[in-house]
Amino acid sequence: METKEHPSVEKKKITPDKCVVTGKGDWYFPQSDIYETPDNFTILIDMPGVGTENVMIDLRDNELIINGEVAQESFRDERVLYNEYSVGHYHRHFVISDAINRDKIEAKMSDGVLSLVLPKAEHVKPRKIEVKTE
Q: Which residues contact 115 (CB under 8 A, 6 or more apart)?
A: 42, 43, 44, 45, 107, 108, 109
Q: Using the rule CB under 8 A, give the single segment among 56-64, 70-78, 98-106, 125-133 that binds other proteins.
A: 70-78
CB of residue 58 to other proteins, shortest distance in Å: 20
Q: Which of 24, 60, 61, 79 is in the footprint of other proteins by CB under 8 A?
A: 79
SS3 call for 52: helix
Q: Which residues contact 100 (CB under 8 A, 6 or more apart)?
A: 41, 118, 119, 120, 121
For other proteins, the binding residues in 3-32 under the rule CB under 8 A are: 3-15, 31-32
- Is position 84 an interface residue for other proteins (rule: CB under 8 A)? yes
**What residue ranges bind other proteins (CB under 8 A)?**
1, 3-15, 31-39, 41-42, 44, 46-51, 71, 75, 77-85, 110-113
